[in-house]
Structure 1
């Protein structure tokens, strides 16, 4: 019997996350577009931003939502030490529920106030306010995040 050796790309090794798929890329773009279109005055919406965690390795959420930040284009930041209000993670086919919930647990312990779990195969989003405490929004619903006040038509994310 041959052993199956899974190849891990440099991307996965560096970011500790799976390589994004086409569905992932489209959903991430749709989310960023819709969030910036409606909430750019209130929040800074950042994708693939390295966040220095107080305990353990750094993490790179798909999207991080901060209160409006003053951006200094002459002096860039390679890793944020301030926690975002909200992180958004888009499920990849190779991720397990346990893996994602462990990530959310780290985020909440570090001070993140809400976590969105985007589920492409269900065309739905769950908004977590704590581990085990979430609201489920199918594609026909309007997502409401009580932490940020963000409201978003879930169907627009999957169109």
Structure 2
């Protein structure tokens, strides 16, 4: 006896019930993430949201969203990602609806021990495909923030920041935030 898997379509996804658990959709298959991020992960995200949302709001630059917020990578086969944090500038606001349909200016992934190199590579490839301009990889273990910029379709590391370093962003020129603010 064979079992046939039904792949999730874009219409199923948009019109389906709200799902409370975090997930990505890869080629129409829903891939659930760990039931809940650790408190350490949540603390880093909360601090990062506070820093970036204050900066973005004061400068009237756009909108900050945090997980779970779906970024549609492609409609068929359906592919979505849920970065820990994302920023969409006023210039790209047309991609905002019930979900994000296109590339945010910035995505942030807070790494966990369960993330494999392949997981990160797959996410970065998806983010490049929709034109995300910048990606931050935050490592709680190493207490670092790696900043990647999309240049001619490929990710290039522009900086790696450790404890005591300011975070330099190509998107937020005037941002005054330090890595130490995330790891308290």
TM-score relative to the length of structure 2: 0.70
Contact 1:90 1:120 in 2 (8 A): yes
1:26 aligns with 2:43: yes
SS in 2 for 1:64: strand
Equivalent-residue separation in structure 2 for 1:85 and 1:139 (angstroms): 25
Higher relative contact order (CA 8 A, sep 6+): 1
Matches within 5 A, 1:1-159: 11=21, 16-18=32-34, 19-40=36-57, 41-48=60-67, 49-54=69-74, 56-68=78-90, 77-130=97-150, 131=154, 133-134=156-157, 135-149=159-173, 151=175, 152-159=177-184
Partner of 1:3: none
Contact 1:16 1:59 in 2 (8 A): no
Equivalent-residue separation in structure 1 for 2:53 and 2:32 (angstroms): 27
Equivalent-residue separation in structure 2 for 1:149 and 1:12 (angstroms): 32
- Evaluate the alpha carbon distance shift between residue 132 and residue 111 of structure 1 in structure 2; reply closer, same or farther with a 3 A threshold: closer
Unaligned segments of structure 2, at least 5 residues: 1-19, 24-29
RMSD of aligned C-alpha atoms?
Answer: 2.5
- Evaluate the alpha carbon distance shift between residue 39 and residue 132 of structure 1 in structure 2; reply closer, same or farther with a 3 A threshold: closer
Q: State the aligned residue count.
A: 146
SS in 2 for 1:54: strand
Unaligned segments of structure 1, at least 5 residues: 1-9
Contact 1:88 1:115 in 2 (8 A): yes
Deviation of 1:147 after TM superposition, in Å, equals 3.0
More strand by share: 2
